[in-house]
Amino acid sequence: MNMARTWFAGVIFCAALPVVSADAVNADAVNADVVNVDAVNEIAAAKPGVFHHLDASGRNNLAVSGASVALVWEDNRSGAPGCYLAVQGGGANAFREFPFGHGECFEPAIAALDGERFLLIWEDAGGVNAAIADAAGPGPVRKLADSGGQGNVAVHPRFGAYAAWSAPDGRWRRVWHAPLSIDGKQLRVGAVRPADMAAATDDQTFPVIIGGAQGLLLAWEDRRHGHTVIFSSFSGNPGHDATTWSAPARVSGNPTGKAQGNLGRGTGAMRPALAAFGDRVAAAWLDKRDFLSGYDVYAALSDGMRFGKDRKAQDSFGDAIAQWHVAAAGNALGELVIAWDDDRDGTPDIWLTRLTAAGYSENFTLPAAAGPGQQSDPAIALDAAGTLHLAWIERSAAGATRLRYTKWPLPPR
């Protein structure tokens, strides 16, 4: 039993009981106090043969707009993959559910818009599509591309809404992006441009886009070096001119060249997630440079329009086992939280770390998302007041899955 789990052992009974962050062990790191976790909502119940997926590119399945919270996911309740939206309107306790998409639907993602509205993107039988949603559900659908997927969306206070996705371009998949104009619930698509103006030499996949104080940032998985690394491009004034986006720059420091044991051209880095916090942006991803223990959580912080050196965000208790499904969230107050799942305590649990003046805090859990059973696939958001919103998949011993949600006010740093 590690230090973080030991710290929680006396308080894990139910989600409504007080929870103590493991950061309280290290007062210099967070100076955490005892706080209360809100009651847990079951967004989608477990049903035999139904499997739920939180697989948005960038893990952007959850968003908070004003007093409203929304979650998007995919499940097979109809006998085929379908997309669903659940919205908890301001002041409501329950989530209201809406299906969307045409035919088979995959990997929906969501971003907060304004006025308790949200921006959706997904892949279905008709291609890559987007829509605006509110408490009444999704609005009119706008097609972005005839084929492709792994979509992501972001909203910038000055530059407006943007979408990114990957789609086949000859032999390889390539990342594309486009501005979106909004008129009520109607969307219009601007010029579609590639993330890299040079022709692709290998696959570009899993893009994620975000609006920060410096402008817009786009990141993705890239295999131009023969193994997967994280690349990014910034724009401080995107407009409609592709030259306003910077040339792609490498973010992840996983080495290129033969991996340990002469295996391949280098170790992998995958599934980037982005978060704007204060006047900076964080990129987090799963990194296999220490390939004997599986993937680790790495992160890099922006320095102007570039990223600084990356570093491991998990603590040493997680070094011997693999991490999965990394997500990141930040807010204008400068708070940054990174989440993932791993089985360091015997079964998968949701683990989190928080950026402090001393660096990343010791990893900690919340009672509702840890303990017996399997808790995995976190999706997180931080609201303007500093409350962490968390959704995840819980899997029973029989293999049935359900979606759960809770929120947790961050203690003072």
Where residue 269 sits, what CATH number does that domain have? Answer: 2.130.10.10
Mean residue pLDDT of the chain comes to 88
> In this predicted model, what pLDDT tens digit does every residue of 376-391 receive, in sequence order?
999 999 999 999 999 9
pLDDT tens-place string over residues 21-71: 333 323 233 333 323 456 789 999 999 999 999 999 999 999 999 999 999
pLDDT tens column, 315-368:
999 999 999 999 999 999 999 999 999 999 999 999 999 999 999 999 999 999
Q: How confident is the model at residue 239 (pLDDT cuts 50, 70, 90)?
A: low
Picking from 72-76, 163-167, 396-400, which range would have the lowest pLDDT averaged per residue? 396-400
Q: pLDDT grade, residue 259 (50/70/90)?
A: low
Among 49-63, 111-125, 224-238, 275-289, the minimum mean pLDDT is found in 224-238
What φ, ψ does residue 7 adopt, rounded to 5°? -60, -35
Residue 397 domain boundaries: 3-409
d(CA 129, CA 182): 15
Res 244 pLDDT > 90 = no
Q: What are residue 114's phi and psi, to 5 degrees?
A: -165, 165
Number of domains in the chain: 1
pLDDT at 372: 87
Amino acid identity of 246?
S
Q: Is the pLDDT score of 220 beyond 90? A: yes
